[in-house]
Amino acid sequence: MRIADSTRLGTVMRDIASVQRQLFAASRQASTGSRLAGPSSDPVAAAQLVRIQGAIGETESYSAVLRTVRGDLEMSEATLDDAGSVLGQIQDLALQGANGALTASDRATLSAQVKQLKAEMLRLANQKGSIGYLFAGTSDQDAPFDAAGTFLGSPQDRVAKIGPGQSMVVSASGALAFTALGGNDVFAEIDALTAALDSNNQAAVSASVKSMDACQRQIVAARADAGTKLARMDTADVAFEQAKVALSSQGHAVGDADPAESYSRLTALQAGLQTSISVAKTLLDTLSIQQI
């Protein structure tokens, strides 16, 4: 009888140790929400989780690049809007200069104002963003226009990688906005207006009115193009967010424990442990009595 009780006690104690190990694992799962204690607990699921986390990291990296270049493109659009306003002022001065009642002195005064506005246009065309000069194309580390308004930049747009094998144009074209590549050499046309005003050439000033209108449309078109590129970035950004949500959902499905199931198992194991401890205590009491 004593041998049977002793053997039974040994079995119960082993059961207690087993339940304690299971209880520890269940407790960790319930507290962390993860069913994976480590790669060894489920190698296949652990490998899937590593791949998913890597894909999330890559997506976040592309999204961060997009946010950076978006700031510069937004600045480009706003700068082109300002350039359009400056050009509108120059056009107004051209209209005034075309008035036949003006004297040479009057036109000289208008010329001085146009020169000031050209300097403002140059400042805008040489605007610098967080990455480089906004309108310099791929040569964005150097100012795209010299003091005379000659284009020194690149006609090629900057691009950014936004996914495996996927790139997007992320810059506004200074060449299309301000040079003959877009239809008119804006700074050359401003210089022509200045020369006409300085020489008191009413006919030439009148011709410049149409030229300024064409330049204005050119800059408006460049601004619209920047807006289209921003819209594409918005679409890409939404796609990134959707991808991150989908990947996170996959990660939860692979690695997360079911809360209700986890706490139910934890409760059951706690109850089982208490039962085993009670049985062991009873057996110990019995063995103690038998030994007396």
Residues 274 and 213 in one domain: no
In a domain, 242, yes or no: no
In a domain, 252, yes or no: no
Residues 197 and 144 in one domain: yes
What pLDDT does 223 receive? Answer: 93
Tell whether the model's pLDDT for residue 36 goes beyond 70: no
Q: What is the pLDDT of residues 80-94, one digit of tens each?
A: 999 999 999 999 999
Residues 130 and 275 in one domain: no
Residues 265 and 208 in one domain: no
What pLDDT does 247 receive? Answer: 62
Tell whether the model's pLDDT for residue 79 goes beyond 60: yes
What pLDDT does 101 receive? Answer: 93
Helices 2-32 and 259-291: angle between axes, nearest 10 degrees: 160
In a domain, 209, yes or no: yes
Polymer length in residues for the chain: 292
Residues 162 and 261 in one domain: no
In a domain, 64, yes or no: no
Nearest to 56 by CA among 238, 240, 232, 233: 240
Q: What is the pLDDT of residues 124-160, one digit of tens each?
A: 999 998 888 999 998 889 999 999 999 999 999 888 7
Point out the least confidently predicted range of 101-105, 113-117, 246-250, 280-284. Answer: 280-284
**Rounded Cα distance, 55 and 21, in Å:** 34
Q: What CATH number is given to the structural domain containing 140?
A: 1.20.1330.10
Please give the full DSSP string across 211-261, using - where no structure is assigned.
HHHHHHHHHHHHHHHHHHHHHHHHHHHHHHHHHHHHHHHHHHHHHBPPHHH
| Number of independent structural domains in the chain | 2
What integer best gives the mean pLDDT of the chain?
Answer: 80
In a domain, 134, yes or no: yes
118-155 burial code (b ≥16 CB/10 A, e <16): beebbebbbbebebbbbbbbebbeebbbeeebebebbe
Helices (H), the chain: 2-32, 43-97, 104-125, 174-178, 186-198, 202-255, 259-291
192 versus 140: which is more confidently predicted? 192
**Rounded Cα distance, 268 and 262, in Å:** 10
Residue 277 belongs to domain spanning:
2-29+257-291
Which structure tokens are listed for 184?
Answer: 């008119």
Which structure tokens are listed for 204?
Answer: 């030439």
What pLDDT does 1 receive? Answer: 43
What pLDDT does 81 receive? Answer: 96
In a domain, 42, yes or no: no
Residues 264 and 223 in one domain: no
In a domain, 62, yes or no: no
Residues 169 and 274 in one domain: no
In a domain, 123, yes or no: yes
Residues 226 and 127 in one domain: yes
Residues 149 and 81 in one domain: yes
